[in-house]
Chain A
Amino acid sequence: MQTNAAALNSQVNSKKRNSSSLTDQLRSYLRHPGSGILAFLTGLAAVLTFAVLIFLVGYILIKGIPYLTPELFSFEYNSENVSLMPSLINTFIMTVLTLVIAAPIGIFAAIYLVEYAQKGNRLVKVIRITAETLSGIPSIVFGLFGMLFFVTALQWGMSLMAGICTLVIMVLPLIMRTSEEALKAVPDSYREASFGLGAGKLRTIFTIVLPSAVPGILAGIILAIGRIIGETAALLYTSGTVAQVPNLMGSGRTLALHMYVLSSEGLHMNQASATAVVILVFVLVINWLSGKAAKRIAKG
C-alpha cells in the first residue's frame, strides 16, 4: 500500500516536473521571441515535409493498390499481362551491381581526400570540382553520354552493363561527397589514439575510422539507391527497355523504366500505378536491409 502511494507520488511529481519544464520553455520563448519563432518554424517545416510525404505515399497507394494483382508478378511478360517480375529482378541486379562498383570507388576516393591528400593539393582541387560537376549533370546528359560512349563507341549495345556503368558514374559523386563528410566527422582523437597504440595508417582507417563513419556513408548509399531505382532518363538510352531478365550484355528494363514504358502511351496506366507501389516497397526493403547491414558492420 505504502509503496503504491510512493509510486503514485513520484508519478505526480514527474508529471509536475514535465509540465513545469514545458511552461518554462514557453516562458523562455516569451522572453526570447526570436527563439520562439525559430522553434515554431522548425516544427512547421517538419510538419510540412511529412504532410507532403504522407500525401505522396497516400496518392501512390490509393492509385496503385487496387491494381496490384498476382498476375503482375508472373515470370513471363507479354502484351496481355504486363508482368513486372522481370523488371523487379533487373532492378535488383542493377542496384546491387552498381553499388558493388560505385561504393568502393566512392569510399576509397573519399578516404584519399580526407586521410591522404595534403591541403591545397592541386589534384584534390581538381577532384573536388569534377565530383561536384558530376553531381550536377542532369540524368538525361548521362543518358546521352552513355549512349554515345558505352552503347555506340564501346559497341556494347543496349545492355544492362551499359546501364550499370552509366549509373556508376551518376551515383559516384553522391557516395564520394557523403562519405567524405562522414570521414571528416570522425574526431581526430580516434586516429591519434590508434596511431598511439602503434597501428599503421591503413589499419587505423579500416578498423577505426571507417566503422565510425558507417552511418554517414550509409546515408549516401541510400541516396544512391534511391537514384538508381528512380532513374529513367539515363537508362532509357543505355539499358534499353526489353521486358526480360537478360545476361549482362543483354537489354532489360528496371521498374522505373517499366513504369515509364507502361505509362508513355497511356495504354496501361493502372499497371503503371501498381508498379509505383512496388517501387515504393522495394525502396523500403532495400533501405531496411542496408540499415541492418550497417549495424552489423558498425558492430563487427
Chain B
Amino acid sequence: MKKKIVGILAAAVIGTTAFATVASAASGTINVISREDGSGTRGAFIELFGIQEEKDGEKIDMTTVDASITNSTSVMMTTVAGDENAIGYISLGSLNDTVKAVKIDGAEATAENVANDTYKVSRPFNIVTGEKVSEAAQDFVNYIMSEEGQQIVEDNGYIKADAEAKPYEAADVEGKVVVAGSSSISPVMEKLKEAYEAVNKNVTVEVQQSDSTTGVTSAAEGICDIGMASRELKDEETEMNLTATVIAKDGIAVVVNNENEVEDLTSDQVKAIFTGETTEWEDLAE
C-alpha cells in the first residue's frame, strides 16, 4: 500500500515537472496583459503612456481589446513568468525575480528614480477619512504622515509622500481603528500598523484588505475609520465629504518574461504595444 502511494506521488512529481519544463518556443506574437478597467494601476499606466486619448472632450482608453485582462498582481506575474511572449505591468512593490522589469526611456524602475522623477510611471496611495474621525484614527494618520511612518513607507519599496515629515509625537489615545481597502496598500499598511501599535499600545488597528472602492465606500458609510485607495478619487467620491491624504507613491513596472531579450523600451513602443499597433516582438520600432 505504502509503495503504491509513493509510486503515485512520484508519477505526479514527474508529470508536474514535465509540464513545467515544456514552456518555451517563441512564436513572436506579443501577448499583452492588462489590468481591469478602473484599476488604479491601469488608470495611471494608460494616462502616463498616452494610451488614453481625448476625443470630443471624452477620454478614451485605447488599450487593445485583444489584451488578456486580470485583476490580480500575482496572476499577472505568473502569466508573464510562464509565457515568453507576454508583457504586462505591476506595482513596483510587488516586483521580484520571477519576471523582468524593462527600462522605460532608459530609466530603471526603482523607487529612487520615481522619487527624483526620472522614472515617471507612478500612482498615489491614498487614505480617506469620513467626516467624523475618532481620536485614535487621527493619531494613526498622524503617525503615518510622521517621519517614522514615512520611513516605513520607504523601507518597503514605496516612495515617501512627504520627504520632510516631522517626528511623531505620541498622543494619549486609546481605542480601535479599522482600516479597509486597496490590496496594493495593505502590505505597507500592515507594517505601519505593527510599528504604530509598538509605539502606542492602547490602540489596536485592524487592516481589512479588499479593494479601493470598497475602502472608500466603507469609509463613507462609517464601516471603517480609514479607507485605502490606490488611485485618485472619482468625482462621485469626493462629493461624499471625504478627506483624502496621499501617504505614498508607488511606481509601476512594465514587466516581461525573464527569457525575453528586450531590456529597454521607449514610451512610444509601450504605447504601440498596448494599443495593439505593434503585435510582433520583431516589429518593435527601434
Contacts and interface: CB of A to CB of B under 8 A. Distances in A.
Contacts of B180: 158, 240
A241 B208 contact: yes
A158 B222 CA distance: 12
Contacts of B74: 263-266, 269
Interface string A216-252: 0000000000000000000011001110100000010
A265 B73 CA distance: 5
Nearest to B15: A55
B190 interface: yes
Contacts of B8: 54
Interface in B240-264: none
Contacts of B96: 266
Interface in B68-109: 72-74, 76-78, 90-91, 93-94, 96
Interface string B1-44: 00000001101110111000000000000000000000000000
B214 interface: yes
B77 A267 contact: no
Contacts of A242: 206-208
Contacts of A269: 74
B190 A79 contact: yes
B238 interface: no
Given A79-B190, A267-B187, A269-B74, A261 B13 contact: no
Contacts, number: 80
A79 B12 contact: no
A190 interface: no
A58 B7 CA distance: 12
Contacts of B13: 58, 62
Given A264-B73, A266-B90, A58 B191 contact: no
Task: Pick from B15, B209, B221 the residue with the most CB of A within 10 Å.
Answer: B209
B202 interface: no
A85 interface: no
B184 interface: yes
A58 B15 contact: yes
Interface string A256-270: 000001011111010
B187 A240 contact: no
Contacts of B214: 237
Contacts of A157: 223
A251 B208 contact: yes
Given A236-B210, A241-B209, A266 B12 contact: no
Interface of A: 54-55, 57-59, 61-62, 78-79, 151-152, 157-158, 236-237, 240-242, 244, 251, 261, 263-267, 269
Interface of B: 8-9, 11-13, 15-17, 72-74, 76-78, 90-91, 93-94, 96, 180, 183-184, 186-187, 190-191, 194, 206-210, 214, 221, 223
Given A157-B223, A266-B78, 5 more contacts: A58-B11, A261-B209, A266-B73, A266-B77, A267-B94
